[in-house]
Structure 1
Amino acid sequence: MMHAVSGHHDHHDSHDHPPYVRDYFLGEAIKVERISPSMIRVVLKVEGGDRLASSGHPDEWVRLALQPDADTPVTLPVLMENGKWGRPDGSQDCPNRPYTIRRWDAGRCEMTIDLVVHEGGVAATWAIKAKVGDVVGICNPEGRFWMPKGSEWLLMLTDITGLPAVGRVLEELPAGLRTIVHVEVPSEADRQQIETAAEVSFHWHACHGPKPERTGYTELSRIAGEIRELPQGPGYIYIAGEAKAVSDCRKHFRDALGFDKNRIDAIGYWIEGQARV
């Protein structure tokens, strides 16, 4: 999934994560499959992946670095003697885009990444043409999802770009946790079966993408606005999708429903009208 990751993150000070450690890896595609009309799954074998430092967040993402052009291979920055990362050999910077890690198999050093297929876009174009043997660059991951201690329920609201995060979060949730999920997808055929031990009510909304009867690509804020009440007790709300829509959703839960803003993570993965960088 694609991220222009931003948003409010003025809380969760209580958990001390180790500082982010920069590191870079090459990943070779060992499997490529179309899992739904709008999603391509790529499994990457990560060279040196035994030193990859997981962020501890189930929505973690990496930046995928792609070839600068058809004739130039992907290369990685190196740690120089002065302690900075650079390209002393003069190799070209590679265009890169952030994507959620759908699954990380540390034993096999295999990383699964689900990419949304959409018109244009550096990474989307690569995904459509991706084949076994393709090589990409990867950095150490970072993430945001962090359910406050004592949370009795979870609400996840995303468009299709957040679906890989939804999938991984659901697979890792504790048994019986009350969870409500709303995902906006382009078509009913983009629904996914996700295994989970949590008590989940799943709502699919097939309205993502350009439509003749409206402007824009997303109705996430309308979907949020139709949620009129939240479960009792302390919970956590995770929102991911188009930046302005995500901000509107956050305001709805905070202002209209009076929910504690410190228990909301709202992440802009992309921006309407801009290249997804």
Structure 2
Amino acid sequence: MTADTLVFDEHDDHDHAPYVEDYFLAKTIAVERLTPSMIRTVLKVDGGERLIASGHPDEWVRLALRPDANTPVTIPVLMENGKWGRPDGSQHCPSRPYTVRNWNPVTCEMVIDIVVHEGGVAAGWAINAEVGDIVGICNPEGRFWFPKTAQWLMMLTDITGLPAVGRVLEELPIGFPAIIHVEVPSDDDRQQFNTGANATITWHACHGLKPTRPGHTELPRIAGNIHALPDGPGYIYIAGEAKAVSVCRAHFRDVLGFDKKRIDAVGYWIEGQARI
């Protein structure tokens, strides 16, 4: 997609084409440390010509990895009864959801940016990823929904939502007003985006465990410091720790009186739990 291809919903509702189940193997063709907290992987998707993009710029796939060092990645297959399964008895692979930072249907190459953190299944793989590594993915799903009448966008995310922020900004129409707040671990985790939108990005270097407070995120505090919204109908997208994004949503809905139907709050992870 290019900067002028983000689709606005014609009917201001959430009706979209039904999800089509499918699975793919993909070979890692590039690995890059973007920032101290983010690793970029580029995957060549085998059979990617049949992959069905969701149409949402925050779309995600489940990234399937080896169950152990001696077991290769396998994926379900479509059986004669029309269901997906593992008739060969192959082992299920651990998987985690990740945003599709970019998808090129011509080359069948997919970019996935992975946040580095201790103990994560996919993060652990990304830290040691090498060209040639095989992973599994599925057809993507998404949530970002842009009402046709929206005149502005606000995005509030922690670092896990940063790949979605980057893709959305790159796909926004030229000159479209966008107000972005991103919580990152450090100033070195800021990123540059190629966007034609009229975007204002505020970086908050406060993500992660700190002795002065519990938890990893200050998204509710950041949201609470937003006391006014632009005039006219807009759209607010919030992504990050599940409880935190719920608090943020309540602030915009209950304190600022914003239409709850124009807020999408997506829990990318849960404090103290593995992201599965």
Which TM-score applies when normalising by structure 2? 0.95
CA distance in 1, matches of 2:252, 2:155: 12
2:6 aligns with none
Counterparts of 1:245 and 1:44, CA distance in 2: 32
Distance 1:107 1:23 in 2: 19
Map of 1:149-168 to 2, 5 A cutoff?
Answer: 149-168=148-167
Query: Structure 1, residues 145-196: CA drift from partner, whole Å, max 9, x if none?
Result: 0111110000000000000000000000001111000000000000000011
Distance 1:239 1:109 in 2: 29
- Superposed, 1:88-167 pairs within 5 Å as 88-167=87-166
Distance in 1 of aligned mates of 2:231 and 2:270: 33
Identity across matched positions, percent: 75
**What amino acid does structure 1 have at the position aligned with 2:124?**
T
**SS state of the match for residue 56, structure 1?**
coil
Once residues 119 and 225 of structure 1 are traced to their aligned partners in structure 2, the CA distance between those partners, rounded to angstroms, is 29
SS of residue paired to 1:195: coil
Separation in 2, partners of 1:190, 1:271:
22
Matches within 5 A, 1:1-277: 14-277=13-276
1:159 and 1:18 mapped to 2: Cα distance? 29
5+ unaligned residues in a row in structure 2: which ranges? Answer: 1-10
For residues 86 and 204 of structure 1, what CA distance do their matches in structure 2 show? 44
Per the alignment, residue 7 of structure 1 pairs with: none
Question: 1:24-73 CA distances to partner (integer Å, 9 max, x unpaired)?
Answer: 00110000000000000000000000100000000000000000110000
Structure 1 unaligned blocks of 5 or more: 1-11
How far apart, CA to CA, are the structure 1 residues paired with 2:157 and 2:133?
29
Q: Residues of 2 paired with 1:199 and 1:18: CA distance?
A: 30
Other structure's SS at 2:88 match: coil
> TM-score w.r.t. structure 1 length?
0.95
CA contact (8 A) 2:13 2:147 kept: no
> How many residues of Structure 1 are paired with residues of Structure 2 in the alignment?
266
Q: Please, which moves more after superposition, 51-60 or 14-23? A: 14-23
Higher relative contact order (CA 8 A, sep 6+): 1
Q: Any idea what the Cα deviations from partners look like across 1:76-131, whole Å, max 9, x if unmatched?
A: 10111111110000000000000000000111000000000001011111111111
Mapped to 2, the partners of 1:232 and 1:169 lie a distance apart of 21
